[in-house]
Amino acid sequence: MMRLLAGFRRVMLVLPLVISVTGCAQSALQGHSSQEDLGMGIVSGTLGAQSRSAVSSGEQPAASLVGQVQAVEGGAYLVRDVRGQEHRIPHDENTRIDRPAHVGDRIQSWFDRHGRAVLIRSLDEDGR
């Protein structure tokens, strides 16, 4: 009977070790799950992630526009340039704005190669 109990005790000590090693090996072999891959795809596809990667890579603004604000539409400025053409300049949390513009203010906007505003600067001196 003592032999049987000693054998049983050894099995009970070794069994949890074997189970934990097997579980760790399986999780290491699986790599990323489809849920993780889906989540990374969603994050990398957002404008915020794209803008941060453009800024971190040192991408320089591709074009700029100077004009007078005609209307403020939530996340965009409607601007008339010196030739009289109107342009809609959308902005988001990744756009650097020195101060919010109001109707009648003159601003200069810089855009990246994708046409997104990266910097909007007020040209008015009064600093409303």
Helix (H, G, I), strand (E, B) or coil at 111: strand
Residue boundaries of the structural domains of the chain: 2-54, 63-122
Residue given tokens 């910097």 in the structure block: 119
Sign of CA dihedral 58, 42, 109, 95: negative
Find which of 21-25, 53-57, 87-91, 112-116 is predicted with most confidence, using mean pLDDT: 87-91
Contact 99, 127 (CB under 8 A): yes
Q: What is the pLDDT of residue 63?
A: 85
44: its two tokens: 């990398």
Among residues 123, 11, 1, 112, which one has the least CA distance to residue 59?
A: 112
> What dotted CATH number matches 63-122?
2.40.50.320
pTM across the whole model:
0.51
Q: Which two tokens stand for residue 31?
A: 């790599």
Residue 36 clears pLDDT 50, i.e. is over it? yes
| Per-residue pLDDT, 84 | 94
61-115 pLDDT per residue, tens: 678 899 999 999 888 999 999 999 999 998 888 899 998 899 999 999 998 888 8
Q: List strands edge to edge, sheet with 106-111.
A: 86-90, 76-81, 63-72, 106-111, 117-122, 96-97
- The percent of residues above 70 in pLDDT, for the chain, comes to 55
| Residue 89 and residue 71 in contact, taking contact as beta carbons nearer than 8 Å | no
